[in-house]
Amino acid sequence: MLKVAVLVSGGGTNLQAILDAIDEGRITNAQVDVVISNNPGAYALERAKGHGIEALCISPKDYESRAAFNEAFLAKLDSYQVDLVVLAGFLVVIPEQMIARYRNRIINIHPSLIPSFCGKGFYGLKVHEAALGYGVKVSGATVHFVEADVDAGAIVMQRAGSVEDGDTPESLQARVLKAEHEILPLCVKLLCEGRVAKEGRKVYIR
């Protein structure tokens, strides 16, 4: 059974999608061992506890320096010895040491078709405001490996959908979120089954 850590900052609907996929037998060889948040009020932590999963908070605000936080964060994650780390709406930049230690074992879900509307400052509703402001006709969700440059790692999977006349950032967000809930658990499943091969920036599903 592969061990998964899910990192969250907010409501945790993507975490829930992974938990549902496990509960419903769509993911059979992975378990979520720990859910970590930087935000003590994240509802995602309640979802984890409700599932009997260890849920903890570690925030940069509680450390003297970013370096001290990064060290404690890495030590905490290491203590669970997980095989895969999933960023599911986690709004803290992942420390370089963590990326080096878990290279090709950390994925992130982003609510746009990368490389559009991504990178520093593009999170949550801001992504959909930018997409609508630009006038794109399609948007969607991307799962990618995490590298030091924010949202710039190799793409594992994308799901596109139409932008409709009259869409608001909220309505587009809701539609893209549905796509996120489909592709994130699917990527977890494929990774845990060893069916994801990466050659440079190209990722192949076998």
Catalytic residue IDs: 110
Give the angle 69-73-79 at the CA atoms, nearest 5°: 150
CB-closest chain residue to ligand GAR: 89
Query: Scanning residues 56 to 115, which ones bind ligand GAR (CB under 6 A)?
Result: 88-89, 109-111
C-beta closer to ligand GAR: residue 13 or 70: 13
Q: DSSP states of 103-156 as a string?
A: TTSEEEEESS-TTSS-STT--THHHHHHHHHHT-SEEEEEEEE--SSTT-SPEE
Count of residues of this chain found to bind ligand GAR when the rule CB under 6 A is applied: 18
x-or-dash pattern for ligand GAR, window 37-66, by CB under 6 A? -------x----------------------
C-beta closer to ligand GAR: residue 30 or 176: 176
Q: What whole-number distance in Å separates Cα of residue 144 and Cα of residue 156?
A: 5
Q: Does 185 bind ligand GAR (CB under 6 A)?
A: no
Q: Of 11, 60, 161, 169, which one interacts with ligand GAR (CB under 6 A)? A: 11
Pairing of β 155-162 and β 84-87:
unpaired
Q: Would you call 79 helix, strand, or coil by DSSP?
A: coil
Q: Of 7, 12, 143, 144, which one interacts with ligand GAR (CB under 6 A)? A: 12
Report the nearest approach of ligand GAR to the CB of residue 131 (Å): 12
x-or-dash pattern for ligand GAR, window 124-163, by CB under 6 A? x--x------------------------------------
Q: Phi and psi (nearest 5°) for 62? A: -90, 5
Q: Is the dihedral of CA 174, 32, 41, 7 positive or negative?
A: negative
Q: How many residues in total does the chain contain?
A: 206
Q: What whole-number distance in Å separates Cα of residue 130 and Cα of residue 201?
A: 26
Provide the binding-site residues for ligand GAR, judged by CB under 6 A. Answer: 8, 10-14, 44, 88-89, 109-111, 122-124, 127, 177, 180
